[in-house]
Amino acid sequence: MLDPKKIRENFDEINSILNKRNFIIDKKKFESIDNNRKNIIADTESLQNKKNTISKEIGILKSKGEETTLQTESVEQINLELKEKQSLLIKAEDEYNDFLLNIPNILHKSVPHGKSDIDNKIIKYSNDENLEKMTKNTFVDHSEIGKLLNLYDQDIAVKMSSSRFSLLFGSFAQLHRALGSFMIDEHINNHGYTEVNVPLIVNSDSLLGTGQLPKFKDDLFELKNKKNFFLIPTAEVPLTNIFQNKIFDEDELPTKYTSLSYCFRSEAGSYGKDTKGLIRQHQFEKVELVNAVMPSKSDEALDSLLNCAEKILQLLDLPYRKVLLCSGDTGFSSYITYDLEVWMPSQNSYREISSCSNFGDFQARRLNSKYKDKSSKKKQFIHTLNGSGLAVGRTLAAIIENYQNKDGDIEIPDILRPYMNNMKLIKRY
RNA sequence: GGAGAGUUGGCAGAGUGGUCGAAUGCGGCGGUCUUGAAAACCGUUGAGCCGAAAGGUUCCGGGGGUUCGAAUCCCUCACUCUCCGCCA
pLDDT-derived band at A37 (thresholds 50, 70, 90) equals very high
pLDDT at A171: 95
Q: How far apart are CA A41 and CA A151, in angstroms?
A: 64
Cα angle: A92, vertex A96, A97; to 5 degrees:
120
Domain ranges of chain A: 26-101, 117-426
pLDDT at A406: 80
A245 CA – B46 C1', rounded, Å:
14
**pLDDT(A138) > 70:** no
Which residue spans within A273-407 are E strands per DSSP?
A: 283-293, 320-324, 336-344, 349-358, 369-372, 379-381, 383-391
Question: Read out DSSP for A227-269?
Answer: TTEEE-SSTHHHHHHTTTTEEEEGGG-SEEEEEEEEEE---TT
Helix A142-149 vs helix A392-402: crossing angle, to nearest 10? 80
Nucleotides of B under 7 A from a protein CB: 18-19, 47-51, 56-58, 68-69
pLDDT at A268: 84
Query: A426 pairs with which residues across the strands?
Result: A410
Question: For the structural domain made of A117-426, what CATH number should be given?
Answer: 3.30.930.10
**pLDDT(A134) > 70:** no
pLDDT at A130: 59
State whether the beta carbon of A60 lies below 7 angstroms from any atom of strand B. Answer: yes
Q: Supply the ipTM of this predicted assembly.
A: 0.85
Name the residues in A359-418 having a C-beta closer than 7 Å to nucleic acid strand B: 379
What does the mean pLDDT of chain A come to? Answer: 91
Distances (CA, A) of A384 to A58, A105, A293: 51, 13, 6
pLDDT at A269: 77
Name the residues in A75-94 having a C-beta closer than 7 Å to nucleic acid strand B: 75-76, 79
pLDDT tens figures, A79-132:
999 999 999 998 999 999 999 999 999 999 999 999 999 999 999 998 765 565
Q: Which of A131-135, A176-180, A194-198, A264-268 has the highest mean pLDDT?
A: A176-180
- Identify residue A352 by its one-letter amino acid code: E
A170 CA – B10 C1', rounded, Å:
52
